[in-house]
C-alpha cells in the first residue's frame, strides 16, 4: 500500500510542477486581487506590465457554456478533459468549472474509475 500511495503522489508532484508555473502565474493575481485593494490598471484579463503578451481569458464553465447537463460516467472523452495526466481530477480553479458541475463531474469520474473506463492513477494504457 505504501508503494502505491507513494507512486501517484510523486507522479502528481512532478506533473503539478510542470503545469503550475504557467497557470498559477496568471491565476494568482486574479484571485488575490480583491482583498488587497485596487489593482494597478486593467481589469481581470486586461493587459499587464511585465512582458505579458497575451490577454488572460476569463475562465468559464464548459458545462454551462455548452449546456451539457448530463455528466455521465460513460462519456469518457468528456471526463478525460478534466483529469490530469496523473489521473487526478483537475481542480476547479484550473478548469473554471462551476461548483454544481464540478460536483457532478467528480462523481462521474469516480464512477468511471470504478468500472475501469478511467485510470485511478497514471495514464490509461
Partner 1 sequence: MNRNYELMFIVRPDMVDEDLNKLISTLESSVTSAGGTAKSEVWGKRRLAYRVGKFNDGIFVLMLIEAAGAVVHEVERRLRVTEPVIKFLTVRTDEELKRLDKIKKLRDSKKKASAQPAAVAAPVTPATPEAATETPASAPV
Interface positions with partner 1 (CB under 8 A): 67, 69-70, 73-74, 111, 113-120, 122, 124-125
- Provide the grid cell at 103: 460536483
Q: Which is nearer to partner 1, 14 or 124 (CB)?
A: 124
- The torsion of the CA quartet 99, 105, 109, 111, rounded to 10 degrees, works out to 110
Report the greatest alpha carbon distance in the chain: 51
What 3-state DSSP class applies to 89? Answer: strand
- Residue 27 CB, shortest distance to partner 1, in Å, is 29
- Residue 36 CB, shortest distance to partner 1, in Å, is 29
Q: Which is nearer to partner 1, 2 or 115 (CB)?
A: 115
- Residue 29 CB, shortest distance to partner 1, in Å, is 25
- Residue 34 CB, shortest distance to partner 1, in Å, is 26
Q: Which is nearer to partner 1, 32 or 72 (CB)?
A: 72
Q: Which is nearer to partner 1, 22 or 69 (CB)?
A: 69
Going by C-alpha positions, the residue among 8, 25, 2, 22 that lies closest to residue 84 is 8
What distance, in Å, lies between the first and last C-alpha atoms of the chain? 21
Amino acid at each position: 500500500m505504501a508503494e502505491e500511495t507513494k507512486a501517484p503522489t510523486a507522479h502528481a508532484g512532478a506533473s503539478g510542477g510542470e503545469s503550475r508555473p504557467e497557470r498559477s502565474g496568471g491565476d494568482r493575481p486574479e484571485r488575490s486581487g480583491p482583498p488587497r485593494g485596487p489593482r494597478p490598471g486593467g481589469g481581470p484579463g486586461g493587459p499587464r506590465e511585465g512582458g505579458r503578451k497575451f490577454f488572460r481569458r476569463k475562465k468559464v464553465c464548459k458545462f454551462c457554456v455548452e449546456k451539457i447537463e448530463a455528466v455521465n460516467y460513460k462519456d469518457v472523452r468528456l471526463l478525460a478533459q478534466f483529469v490530469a495526466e496523473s489521473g487526478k481530477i483537475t481542480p476547479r480553479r484550473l478548469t473554471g468549472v462551476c461548483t454544481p458541475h464540478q460536483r457532478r463531474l467528480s462523481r462521474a469520474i469516480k464512477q468511471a474509475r470504478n468500472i475501469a473506463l478511467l485510470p485511478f492513477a497514471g495514464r490509461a494504457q
